[in-house]
Amino acid sequence: MQVSSWVFTRVGEPLTRETRDEHCASGEVLVEVSGCGVCHTDLGYYYDGVPTRHALPLVLGHEISGRVVEAGAGAESWLGQAVVVPAVMPCGECDACAAGRGAVCPKQIFPGNDVHGGFGSHVRVPARGLCPVPDGVDLVALSVVADAVSTPYQAIHRSGLQPGDVAVFVGVGGVGGFGVQVAAALGAHVVAIDVEPVRLERIARHGAALTLDGRAADARQLRKQVREFAEARSSPGWRLKIFETSGTPAGQATAFGLLGHGAYLSVVGFTPRAVEVRLSNLMAFDATVQGNWGCLPEHYPAVVELVRRGQVALEPFVEKRPLDEINDVFEALHAGSAERRIVLVPGER
């Protein structure tokens, strides 16, 4: 099938629309894209020159939902199925996968990084790991599950968060906003920290019991406010789960500074810039810091179910734009002028 996509050829240069032929090999499917979310990672490739594993030219985009329209041998059962394409697709057969470490699978497929991604009419991916979507859910909006919702879900799952724990999200403009909702749905008392009042106002209506403006308080004041919030809910410091979801040096420094005795920090956001911290705090506090790369496909059905049940709201946090506006969208996001996760929607095919 001939497909149309917006191609990334050189750092900072406008994406160009091109066509190519796609043919499904054994175990692969061709997904007609319903929506593809724009992620901070895409901007890192495009503006900062973060290397992609596939040489340029490359089609970016890894938050993909759509419907299977072609299938290779062994994948025919997926034809016609509405799906979310996981952003990280482990091979399922190597030693890392067998050990439950699919996130570091050396053969993993990351659309828009290892292979052409979803900023186009169609995307060709392995059938292994696809997440079927039930009827009655907005398939376009559901594209953001493929990173913005599933990634904080896995980070929360790995933290061992329990009902009654205190969860703090530093940065709630995208991944963090969905993380707040997931943590609240799982019974946590949630604190949201950000530097944009509009984000804090919105997330206060969707799971955050306390919102803190990072510009209005220094590190010591933030620690004090979080500690008082936890004490008021009889939650000791070792039940504090911190999630760095801003992907900024300031946010990462803030998150590390919140660590106390027995606390846990998950680094979810990415920045190519260095951050200076005192690692000895981990020893002194017997604290834990863990990175999180994407989300294993086996967790996706649970994430979709949270959306289906209304425990995670997508619409207030998503803005749909035509795919043809991709260059304008990239510029707006890079300038920081967009307040919602933008999902690009292909036009008439």
Q: Which tens digit of pLDDT belongs to each residue from 127-154?
A: 999 999 999 999 999 999 999 999 999 9
Bond before 57 cis per omega within 30 degrees:
yes
Per-residue pLDDT band for 17 (boundaries 50, 70, 90) equals very high
Q: Which of 277, 241, 255, 66 lies closest to 161 in space, CA to CA? A: 241
Kindly list the domain boundaries of the chain, sorted by start residue. 2-146+297-345, 150-291
Q: Which of 348, 268, 342 lies closest to 61 in space, CA to CA? A: 342
Per-residue pLDDT band for 349 (boundaries 50, 70, 90) equals very low
| 84 in Cβ contact with 138 (< 8 Å) | no
pLDDT at 97 over 70: yes
Q: Residue 40: what pLDDT?
A: 87
Q: Which of 225, 229, 227, 183 lies closest to 207 in space, CA to CA? A: 183
Q: In what order do the strands lie in the sheet with 210-213?
A: 210-213, 189-194, 166-170, 240-244, 264-267, 288-291
Other C-beta atoms within 10 Å of 215: how many? Answer: 11
Q: Does domain 150-291 have CATH number 3.40.50.720?
A: yes
Q: Which of 152, 146, 144 lies closest to 169 in space, CA to CA? A: 152
pLDDT at 46 over 90: yes
Q: pLDDT digit string (tens) for 265-287?
A: 999 999 889 999 999 999 999 99
| 190 in Cβ contact with 167 (< 8 Å) | yes
Architecture of the domain spanning 2-146+297-345: Alpha-Beta Complex (3.90)
Q: Residue 348: what pLDDT?
A: 47
Mean pLDDT of the chain: 96
Q: pLDDT digit string (tens) for 290-330?
A: 999 999 999 999 999 999 999 999 999 999 999 999 999 99
Per-residue pLDDT band for 239 (boundaries 50, 70, 90) equals very high
Please compute the mean of the pLDDT values over residues 244-266 and round it to a whole number: 97
Q: What residues form DSSP beta bridges with 345?
A: 322
- The whole-model pTM stands at 0.94
Please compute the mean of the pLDDT values over residues 74-96 and round it to a whole number: 97
Q: Residue 289: what pLDDT?
A: 98
Per-residue pLDDT band for 243 (boundaries 50, 70, 90) equals very high
pLDDT at 181 over 70: yes
Dihedrals φ, ψ of 343, to 5°? -110, 125
